[in-house]
Amino acid sequence: MPEVAIYFWIVKVLTTGMGETTSDFLAHRINPIIAVGCAGAVLAISLSVQFYVRRYIAWIYWSGIVAVSVFGTMAADVLHVGLGVPYFASTAVFIVVLAVIFVVWYCAERTLSIHSIHTWRREFFYWATVIATFALGTATGDMTAVTLHLGYFTSGLMFAALIAVPAVAYRLGLNPVLSFWLAYVITRPLGASFADWAGVSRARGGLGLGTGPVSLALAVVIVVFVGHLAVSRKDVERGSHRRR
How far apart are alpha carbons 61 and 51 in whole angstroms?
10
How many residues make up the chain in this entry?
A: 244
Q: Does an H or E element contain 67, and which?
A: helix 58-77
Question: Which residues on adjacent β-strands are paired with residue 155?
Answer: none
Buried-exposed string 48-58: b where 16+ CB fall within 10 A, e elsewhere:
eebeeeeebeb
As a whole number of angstroms, the distance between CA 83 and CA 174 comes to 39
Amino acid making up residue 62 = W
Question: Facing residues of 2 across strands?
Answer: 236
The predicted structure's pLDDT at residue 239: 52
pTM for the predicted model, two decimal places: 0.89
In the chain, the amino acid numbered 66 is V
Domain ranges for the chain, please list them: 6-232
Please write the tens of the pLDDT for every residue from 189-209: 999 999 999 999 998 889 999
Q: How do residues 138-179 score in pLDDT, each as one tens digit?
A: 889 989 999 999 999 999 999 999 999 999 999 999 999 999
Q: Output 78 or 168, whichever has higher pLDDT.
A: 168
Assign residue 177 a region: left if phi > 0, alpha if psi is -120 to 50, beta otherwise? alpha
Mean pLDDT (the chain, rounded): 90
